[in-house]
Amino acid sequence: MRGLILFAVIAAAASWVWAKRAEKLAQQRELFYQATLRSYSDALRSGLTRKDVESYLRANNKPFRQMCCMGRSGKNAYDDLTKIGEESPPWNCSAHNVYIGLEFVSAGTHPFPEAHESDTLTKVRIFHWFEGCL
């Protein structure tokens, strides 16, 4: 009986230590994400053209991808994403990636979102994207 109680106490302590460590690592990742956001926000101000933003990303060896409608639906310009981290995905997804999201708006009118060099940057933010979900 003593062995069982001792095992339960050790298991509870190990679980508590693991949870505290996981919490500290999550806080460290969030601090990194916020610092990275600040650096992008300082370098890429609202009003820049897509051409200028993507030139900056290429010059700094920051791979990026384009996607539709990161922020709001009904937009007519693609947004740019550059990956800055990964989190543990939920059971029903294969990935939980963290990006710096660069939101654009187009002055033109077209029925579907597109990417044009003249699109204007409106917002820089952290964007969590769950991928490969059921």
- Structure confidence by residue, pLDDT tens digits, 10-23: 777 667 878 778 78
Task: Enumerate the domain spans of the chain.
Answer: 2-131
The burial of 116, by beta-carbon neighbours within 10 Å (0-12 exposed, 13-18 middle, 19 or more buried), is given as middle
Render pLDDT for 88-133 as a digit per residue (tens, 0 to 9).
999 999 999 999 999 998 877 776 778 889 999 999 999 999 999 9
For position 21, what pLDDT does the model report? 82
Look up the pTM and report it.
0.83
Element (H, E) at 83: strand 78-87
Give the residue from 121, 86, 80, 117 showing the smallest Cα distance to 101.
80
